[in-house]
Chain A
Amino acid sequence: MIVVWSIALRLGVAALAGLLIGWPLGSVLAGLAIAFGVYLCWQLAALLRVEWWVRHRSFADAPDLPGAWGEVVTQIVRLHRRKRFHKQRFVQLFRQIQRSTGALPDGVVILDEQREIMWFNRMAGQLLSLRRPDDLGLRIDNLVRQPQFVQYLDGGQYINPVALHAGSRAGVDRYLSLQLVPYGEGQLLLLVRDISRQMRLEIMRKDFVANASHELRSPLTVICGYLETLGGDPLLDPDLAGPLAEMRRQAERMTTIIADLLELSRLEAQDAGAAGEAVDVAALLAMLRKDVLARQQHPAEVRVKVESPQWLFGSESEIHSAFSNLVDNAAKYTPVQGSLEMRWWTDGAGGHFAVTDTGIGIQPDHIPRLTERFYRVDAGRARGTGGSGLGLAIVKHVLQQHDGELSIESTPGKGSTFTCHFPSSRLRDGGNQAREAG
């Protein structure tokens, strides 16, 4: 309101001045024109000053103008101060965020929907050898070119991280774990961790198990040999026959455990998706059935249902080892009057092999841990049946090698079903060679 009044006052003064000048000269109109002309010039000069001041942003020395222009200048200065205050707060916040992500022990890279690098922290730069600012705007897979990573990026399944061999530094191999996290609209967050230490420990552990098993095997062979000779000795004290038989049984169990451990190390050492051949599942199941029937004690009913003529692509010996482990377990835990069924079928999802028994079943809380090495549902009983405790671990590893999965369903007291699922890419047409087995 004050501004309006001040403008009105100035216009009034100008009009008065015009009258005062115009009256003595005899022409009021000319006087008014001169007065308003002067007023207009003064206004234009003020406007130019304000414009110049706003453009050059020298907010420190605001022009000292009277009236409405003064008011405008004050408002602009106030607006500017408020903006500067907010900006400073944002800059501070932004710096803090940048500093904290920069201090993260893990590498962080922000990718846009084109997979181009938008930003990365110091650690990511170090781990992936990225350069600032040259690499901003480059595609991440142009710089991190390992085929596993490119596949992971293209695959779109970012649940698990991917481990990469990232060259060597000072003669020591470096391994990185890369995890993508989608966020926003198609943007990706790439988390990078140095896992060289874990990988080295893992390699050491694998080597140790493999070497130890290997070293244990030779002395054990000697012990087994002598036990066998002693057992067949007619002059042996009959009191020792019992203990000797037990020693032989235990030595045989140890041999099985070591054989299984070596098998596991071998499976772990080889690359996933190893080459193989088409395996005739029907023939394999027929063979497994014979093995079960050849056991001293076996379930009364052993059925084989082959519902698909398709074959399975993979390593025959490994698939045999996995399937026979499942069938052995089922046979072991099923009473003589029970039944055992092996079933092979295919559908849209791929191929499936299921072993169903009417055995003692497994409590649900044990199921997630069954494939752990040496995991025992019931320590006393399992040792009695002579298992190595590694069977299901082998099954799991074989399935991993064949892109498969194991699912377990069980009702205590009623029986269990172990099912192996293989993707469609693993199925092959067996042609005329496929045959029914019963």
Chain B
Amino acid sequence: METADLTHHISRRFNEDLERVRNRVLAMGGFVEQQLQKAITALVEGDSSLGEAVALDDSKVNTMEISIDEECSRILATRAPAAGDLRVIVAIIKTITDLERIGDEGEKIGYIASRLANMERPADKYREIKHLGRVVQEMVHSALDAFARMDVNAALEVARQDIAVDEEYESIQRQTITFMLEDPRTIRRHLDVMWVVRALERIGDHAKNIGEYVIYMVHGKDVRHTALEDVERELRHGRDDSH
């Protein structure tokens, strides 16, 4: 496993650097997860102050991204890592970008939540959003777990979940259009809801990206823009070759 790889190093300081930057990525991930959870709670429970707090706290995510990015540049410049270590750094740089985007989408949801809190609430109390939100939260959580454990199977599972999220996104979109046609007075609110659902769907994509970086980090294979079945086949082949 990767953790074993990390310990092979001649330089202990380098190991510590890598380990520390990995920990910081996961701490950032934890914060982003919390932001997302708060944003969805704010929306579902109509808590405008919580929504505003989420929108305000997004700057912390940005600060974390910048500081981890700098740390990675420093490691690249001073240690010139190769092979597996280089992949770890590259994957980290990509992962924090996606985490930051998740943070941005969370901010958007928080902002819309604080606005929607002052409007009339629909009869279903945003049940669809709640459900989609839970699935997406779980995806982000599993993607970060996969990152921590270097678990390729879990990363693949995240990619699989993303398909379900895309389907759900389509179905909520159709449903919302129906609502808009039925009662044009609610179009404004439903447009906001559409924004939220869109943001959640994007978060799902970002979680999937993080999963792909995990696969890249462990196997050195770039599986972006590849169909899921192909990825699985390729990974199986890769494993057969190595045996």
A residues with CB within 8 A of B: 129, 131, 134-135, 137-139, 141-143, 145-147, 150, 165, 167-168, 270-271, 275
Contact = CB atoms under 8 A, between A and B. Distances in A.
A138 B30 contact: no
Nearest to A142: B148
Closest 4 CB pairs of A and B: A145-B30, A142-B148, A142-B26, A147-B31
B27 A146 contact: no
A265 B138 CA distance: 32
A145 B142 CA distance: 12
A151 to B, nearest CB: 10
Interface in B146-175: 148-149, 151
B199 to A, nearest CB: 20
B3 A147 contact: no
A174 B33 CA distance: 15
B141 interface: yes
B126 to A, nearest CB: 14
Nearest to B147: A142
B26 A165 contact: no
Contacts of B141: 167
Contact of A141 (B26, B53, B149): B26
B23 A139 contact: yes
Nearest to A116: B3
Nearest to B151: A134
* Most chain A beta-carbon neighbours within 10 Å: one of B30, B134, B144, B148: B30
B23 A146 contact: no
B145 A143 contact: yes
A139 B147 CA distance: 12
A145 B33 contact: yes
B29 interface: yes
Main secondary structure of the interface of A (DSSP, over half): loop
Contacts of A139: 23, 148
B30 A150 contact: yes
21 contacts: A131-B149, A134-B149, A134-B151, A138-B3, A138-B148, A139-B23, A142-B22, A142-B23, A142-B148, A143-B149, A145-B33, A146-B33, A146-B34, A147-B30, A165-B37, A167-B137, A167-B138, A167-B141, A270-B49, A271-B53, A275-B56
A146 B30 contact: yes
B64 to A, nearest CB: 11
Nearest to A271: B53
Given A142-B23, A145-B144, A168 B31 contact: no
Contacts of A143: 145, 148-149
Interface of B: 3, 22-23, 26-27, 29-31, 33-34, 37, 49, 53, 56, 134, 137-138, 141, 144-145, 148-149, 151
Given A134-B149, A135-B149, A147 B37 contact: no
Nearest to A145: B30
B27 A147 contact: yes
Contacts of A135: 149
Contacts of A131: 149
Chain B binding site: helix, strand, loop or mixed by DSSP?
A: helix
A137 B49 CA distance: 40
Contacts of A142: 22-23, 26, 148
Contact of A168 (B23, B134, B145): B134
Nearest to A149: B30
A138 B29 contact: no
B38 to A, nearest CB: 9
A137 B26 contact: no
Contacts of A134: 149, 151
Contacts of B27: 141, 145, 147, 150
A145 B27 CA distance: 6
A175 to B, nearest CB: 13
Nearest to B22: A142
Given A143-B148, A167-B137, A137 B3 contact: yes
Contacts of A145: 26-27, 29-30, 33, 144
Contacts of B33: 145-146
Contacts of A129: 145
Nearest to B47: A269
Nearest to B29: A145
Contacts of B134: 168
A143 B29 CA distance: 10
Contacts of A270: 49
- Most B C-beta atoms less than 10 A away, residue of A135, A141, A145: A145
B141 to A, nearest CB: 7
A139 B27 CA distance: 11
Given A145-B33, A146-B34, A147-B31, A138 B26 contact: no
Contacts of A146: 30, 33-34
A165 B23 CA distance: 21
Contacts of A168: 134
A141 B26 CA distance: 8
Nearest to B1: A134
A238 to B, nearest CB: 52
A275 B55 CA distance: 13
Contacts of B151: 134
Contacts of B145: 129, 143
Nearest to B137: A167
Nearest to B131: A171
A145 B37 CA distance: 13
A146 B145 CA distance: 13
A275 B151 CA distance: 40
A134 B152 CA distance: 13
B37 A138 contact: no
A403 B44 CA distance: 30
A139 B56 CA distance: 30
A271 B22 CA distance: 29
A168 B27 CA distance: 21
Nearest to B60: A147
Contacts of B31: 147
Contacts of A165: 37
A167 to B, nearest CB: 7
A127 to B, nearest CB: 15
Contact of B34 (A138, A147, A275): A147
